[in-house]
A and B are shown apart, each in its own frame.
Chain A
């Protein structure tokens, strides 16, 4: 059977304002089953607002939200739908007075297709702290428990809002590994992050969110290609103004002696650069890394 994978999530033209502040300004995207989608953006870009709107925690002003092909009305989400979702919110906590084991037992009882307490303890990696109360866990351990609780109902679609926030490098890598395993087992995952590396490591596609709009959407490679430019670094006597006037220059950064330019047509820029200043030294031309592509995308939109 050759069929188009079903869209598990489809949102179009979501708008949401708080008082006079626009948090979402026409966010549109869709996501296929089994995909890992990273929503990447600086703090305040609207990531949590977007997730909250999809989950029905807040009402949007306009726009459409489809989950598993069903149009969602207002903030109502059916119980049948909730059975298929798993959520880890950025500001999450379990009951302070219950132990890790008790929370797992309670949460898995909510789901028809549930994981056992032993499985959840294993996912959280908290087998030895099973009898500790939530309030006595470290920040990273709390995050791991909340991650496990999000998986209590073997969700088809998992939302992770900044899941590695506050984790050390080791814990972060361990969580990445678990996310990869989930993906391999066919779970669709929406992940918000402001760590570019995280998005690059995990996501099939990245949606760059800026001021409530999705300004770019594609695989990490596609996003890099959207910025067709190259990065030219050198030491030169030219002023910033002269450098900006060179052909095809999009962006300029100066670090003491060294200047880096992002150019749409590196050959033209280099030729003009050498004509204008024969004393140029330490010249390097490199492809733009995703990080620069991301910075450039967000900077361009801000200027526009």
Chain B
């Protein structure tokens, strides 16, 4: 009972602490919506509003997942708060689950905003099972990005972390075809996309609306699962060893 309480409190206060940072909340929610409305709905950059809904959803959930972890943890570390927690009997899993649940809350909000914009302004019509499946794929898919953020947060200084996240986040989003559809890219860039986890996640999402490139679901899932496992192992070591 009391350990449940610990997990709940850790998660609640992590979310509360982030919600009190308007400089994080507003861009995290507004950017994906603005980008989708502009490029996906009004400008229709190279594909339909439904195709771009999937890729901008992917883009939207990656940001908070990576930033919440990388910047938040790097600053907790810089100020000594993380050290106090590491010295306390708080289990690492409570810390990790709290950060994950915070990034899930943001992901849910972003998906609600994007799905609403797609229905209202983009005339996107999907089966309820497709909506649901798309949401599940995106939420589960935020996990490896959260862990990537955690790794950066545990290894970079608080000054460097936000910059490095942008340096990874933005090029990776572009090269995975999240802004412009991948099929508009030259062939070698399409091949290169296999390197990026966001490519695999967006392909899984596109499979839901049958607009993916036709690779096997298992291949995409396998890459993401492997990446998740590797990142989780490294992070657990870093956390206990510092």
Contact = CB atoms under 8 A, between A and B. Distances in A.
B215 interface: no
B242 interface: yes
Interface in A66-119: 75-76, 79, 82-83, 85, 87, 89, 91-98, 102, 105-107, 109-112
Given A106-B9, A112-B2, A91 B89 contact: no
A89 B83 contact: yes
A153 B89 contact: yes
A75 B238 CA distance: 12
A258 to B, nearest CB: 46
B17 A83 contact: no
A93 B81 contact: yes
A168 B10 CA distance: 34
B127 interface: no
B83 A82 contact: no
15 contacts: A57-B86, A85-B87, A87-B84, A92-B83, A93-B79, A96-B79, A105-B9, A105-B13, A107-B84, A109-B9, A110-B89, A112-B89, A146-B84, A149-B84, A153-B89
A133 B20 CA distance: 10
Interface size band for B: 20 to 34
Contact of A97 (B16, B80, B89, B240): B16
Nearest to A146: B84
A102 B13 contact: yes
A301 B86 CA distance: 36
A249 interface: no
Given A82-B89, A110-B88, A111-B89, A95 B81 contact: yes
B90 A110 contact: yes
Contacts of A96: 17, 79
A105 B83 CA distance: 18
Given A89-B80, A105-B9, A106-B10, A95 B89 contact: no
Interface of A: 55, 57, 75-76, 79, 82-83, 85, 87, 89, 91-98, 102, 105-107, 109-112, 133, 146, 149, 152-153
B13 A82 contact: no
Identify whether the interface residues of A are mostly helix, strand, loop, or mixed: loop
A110 to B, nearest CB: 5
B191 interface: no
Contacts of A55: 87
A67 to B, nearest CB: 13
Nearest to A58: B242
Q: What are the 4 A-B residue pairs with the smallest beta carbon separation, nearest first?
A: A93-B79, A82-B89, A97-B17, A97-B20
Contacts of B212: none
A53 to B, nearest CB: 13
Contacts of B241: 75
Contacts of B163: none
A76 B240 contact: yes
A55 B86 CA distance: 10
A98 B80 contact: no
Interface in B65-84: 76, 79-81, 83-84
